[in-house]
Amino acid sequence: MEQPNLDYIEQLARGDESIKKTLIDVIKTEFPDEIKDYYISLELKDFKKIESNVHRIKHKFSILGLVKSYNKANEFEHSLREHQLNLKEHQDFDKILTAISEYLKTI
Amino acid sequence: MDCIVIDDEKMARVIIKTLCDQIKSLNLLKEFSGAIQAIKYLDINKVDLIFLDIHMPNFSGLDFIKTLKNPPKIIFTTSDPKFAIEAFEYDFIVDYLLKPIELKRFKKAIKKVERELLVQSQLNKDEEPEIKNDFYVNIDRRLIKIDLTSIYLIEAKGDYINIKTEDKNYVVHSTLKKIEEKLPDLLFLKVHRSYIINVKKIIDIEDNSVLIKKDVVPISRSKRAELMKRLDLL
């Protein structure tokens, strides 16, 4: 499984540590809330909301350099748009969320 | 270039701010997490450019652009390439940036906006009517420049016209009709078949005459209503 990285954030910050810190702080604050919202929507089986949650979360995948995971999230989002909760896609998505959550604790 | 960003995701707004900070010509005025707040802001504030997310809950970026009466330039910022064709149906949408946005691509989009704004300002300039401040009259084979704003009265005298200015009078071989064509409508009015007056120089109006400097000028009945319309009456 691919690992999250800070390449994009470092590229944006261009060596400015305060910018890098701001970007990391925002992702560390926003990501847990987005996951929470995602699981609430899942419990409610509100497909439109789950799709919207996945759409927001997948941006974080791309920010953290997770290209393959981003593509998988796209497929998951597409299935949700069709009101289908594909178990494999759902499990894969959840694994990525866990991996990112663990990674954010280390930075 | 004054701009705003509309995106429900804070990380996306911070990234746009970071990118804007790296381009001197950009002045990011405000960030909005929803389109509705931005509409209220744009009701009373003018911006040159909006960075707009398409996929937002309740009110999407595409819904938002339909509410704009005088849309500024817009750059879509989105994770979804599927709206690109629809987005470019609007001529004020300059570019479509896919997230995560890279600085190089961002700079390219800004250059595109700057180019379009430049073309737009040149077009606007071409459309602006040229305001003339003076013209030349031929007196005894000499071309004399007359400042339009200094003229207070022009009267017809047979084959000649008498142009009266603050400092001097000029008798010119011409007709009122010819000179009327050279005068700005905003400033001058033909109040009688023999008189054109500068409406800004009127001292008072009494019945069918007008006092300009020391000259009392008759007003045709047909011109009186038009003259009254021009005056800033209390």
pLDDT of residue B129: 63
pLDDT of residue B109: 97
Q: Do the Cβ atoms of B103 and A12 come within 8 Å?
A: yes
Asked whether the predicted pLDDT for residue B80 surpasses 90, the reply is: no
Superfamily covering domain B134-230: LytTr DNA-binding domain (2.40.50.1020)
Considering the entire predicted model, what is its pTM?
0.69
Q: Do the Cβ atoms of B79 and A62 come within 8 Å?
A: yes
3-state secondary structure of B231: coil
Q: Give me the interface pTM, i.e. the ipTM.
A: 0.93
Element (H, E) at B78: strand B73-78
Delimiting residues of CATH 3.40.50.2300 domain(s) in chain B: 2-127
Element (H, E) at B31: strand B27-32
Domain architecture of chain A: domains with CATH: 7-106 (1.20.120)
> What topology does CATH give the domain B2-127?
Rossmann fold (3.40.50)
Show the CA angle centred on residue B39, arms to residues B36 and B43, nearest 5°: 150
Q: Which of A59, A60, A70 to mutate to test the interface with B (most CBs of B within 10 A)?
A: A59
Q: Per residue of chain A (107 residues), give pLDDT as tens.
A: 789 999 999 999 999 999 999 999 999 999 999 999 999 999 999 999 999 999 999 999 999 999 999 999 999 999 999 988 888 999 999 999 999 999 999 99
pLDDT band at B54 (very low <50, low <70, confident <90, very high): very high
Delimiting residues of CATH 2.40.50.1020 domain(s) in chain B: 134-230
The chain A residues in contact with chain B (CB within 8 A) are: 8, 11-14, 19, 22-23, 26-27, 29-30, 52, 55-56, 58-60, 62-63
Q: Do the Cβ atoms of A59 and B103 come within 8 Å?
A: no
Q: Which of A5, A56, A67 to mutate to test the interface with B (most CBs of B within 10 A)?
A: A56
pLDDT of residue B233: 62
Q: How many CB atoms lie within 10 A of CB A65?
A: 17
Q: Which position has the higher pLDDT, B124 or B139? A: B139
pLDDT tens, residue by residue, B201-216: 998 888 889 999 889 9
Q: How far is B53 from chain A (nearest CA, A)?
A: 11
Q: How far is B44 from chain A (nearest CA, A)?
A: 30
CB within 8 A of A77, min separation 6: which ones? A51, A54, A55, A58
Asked whether the predicted pLDDT for residue B103 surpasses 60, the reply is: yes
pLDDT of residue B128: 64
pLDDT tens, residue by residue, B161-176: 999 998 899 999 999 9
**What DSSP assignment string belongs to B184-214?**
-TTTEEEEETTEEEEGGGEEEEETTEEEETT
pLDDT of residue A86: 86
